[in-house]
Amino acid sequence: MILFVVNRLAGNGQGRIAWETVESKLRQKGIAYSVVAEDTESRSVEQTSRELARGQTHAVVVIGGDGTLHSVLPLLAGGSIPLGLIPAGSGNDTARAFGIPKRPLAALELVLALKTRQADLLRAKLATGEEHLTLTALAIGLDAAVAEDVNGSAYKDWCNKLRVGSLAYIIGLVRALLRYRPEEVVVTVDGRDHRFPHTWLSAVTNSSSYGGGLRICPEAHPTDGKLHACVVHDCSKGRLLRLFPTILNGSHVRTRYVTVLSGRDIRIAAGRTLLAFGDGEPLGHTPLAASVLPGQLPFIAATVSG
């Protein structure tokens, strides 16, 4: 039995279209399945948990975006039930990292093949003791402010209609820059402090891209057993805007305004509390500690890209 967790609203309705296409093919093939519709995150998690408790689920497949997938991670981490994805969100960075096709039926064929890779997870612990699991990246500082602006905007829907998820991030960046100010940040990697007095953002990643294909840490892989941090610092707003297009191909890491670090444990602290997002969803604020959980998730994948 395959359990599908479906966010029909994902990608401005792309989730609904993808599910209708997939369900038709499942019926045609006579494949047994059950479905949980995500109307609210808490309700879908409860329903998914009940389905898993019955012991009849051989795989869980999310139809939606990175945020929908994020919600089921705590239920599957450390277990043996594979997690699959049929991408229908705005950014689809998880699909990009694991070589999952954009077309629903092509992604379904990959799911049915059940070829898995043991993916790492990123565990973020807040000062409150609260913990969150993330598959792609933590956005901290300006990039979190951008994510907050994008998630609450009308322009995100228009970008989804045009299927240019990264454009929403660019619009959000320009808007967020009008009110954001840089801050001193200390990034501690495996016990060693790195201090940046004028920091715009400090992303901690488990895969190479976020924000709809922005290659923030080009060398990151979700199976390499470590985390990567990209810190953008010591530049003006004008320089930052000129730097931004280079994130599309990852060449920003060769400039003196960007420092890339890697390790198993990364702590972020700042002069003021900074907003943090994980997999495009709000998690809380700094200070926070991130650690890698190697091979904790059997993920249905074609490839793992950097």
Q: Which of 183, 186, 151 is nearest to 165 (CA)?
A: 151
Residues paired with 202 in a beta bridge: 231
Residue 40: pLDDT band with limits 50, 70, 90: low
3-state secondary structure (DSSP) of residue 87: strand
Domain 123-294 CATH class label = mainly beta
First CA to last CA distance, the chain? 32
What integer is the mean pLDDT of 117-133?
97
| Confidence check: pLDDT of 284 > 70 | yes
Every domain range in the chain assigned CATH 2.60.200.40: 123-294
Quote the pTM value. 0.90
Of all residues in the chain, what percent are helix, strand and coil, respectively (each to 5)? 35, 35, 30
* Report for 21-25, 33-37, 157-161: range of highest mean pLDDT: 21-25
For residue 157, what pLDDT is reported? Answer: 75
Every domain range in the chain assigned CATH 3.40.50.10330: 2-119
| Confidence check: pLDDT of 6 > 60 | yes
Task: Please give the Cα distance from 74 to 124 (Å, whole number).
Answer: 12
**What is the tens place of the pLDDT at every residue in 173-195?**
889 998 999 999 999 999 999 99
Q: Residue 122 in contact with residue 281, Cβ under 8 Å?
A: no
Residue 270: pLDDT band with limits 50, 70, 90: very high
For the chain, percent of residues with pLDDT exceeding 90: 79
Q: Which two tokens stand for residue 23?
A: 């369900």
| Confidence check: pLDDT of 306 > 90 | no
Residues paired with 204 in a beta bridge: 138, 229
Q: Residue 4 in contact with residue 63, Cβ under 8 Å?
A: yes
Residue 129: pLDDT band with limits 50, 70, 90: very high
Task: Please give the Cα distance from 31 to 215 (Å, whole number).
Answer: 37
Residue with tokens 């919600």: 71
For residue 211, what pLDDT is reported? Answer: 83
For residue 43, what pLDDT is reported? Answer: 66
For residue 39, what pLDDT is reported? Answer: 62
CB atoms within 10 A of CB 207: 29
For residue 225, what pLDDT is reported? Answer: 97
Helix residue ranges, H only, the chain: 10-29, 41-53, 66-76, 93-97, 104-113, 142-151, 155-162, 165-177, 237-243
What integer is the mean pLDDT of 117-122?
97
CATH number attached to the domain at 2-119? 3.40.50.10330
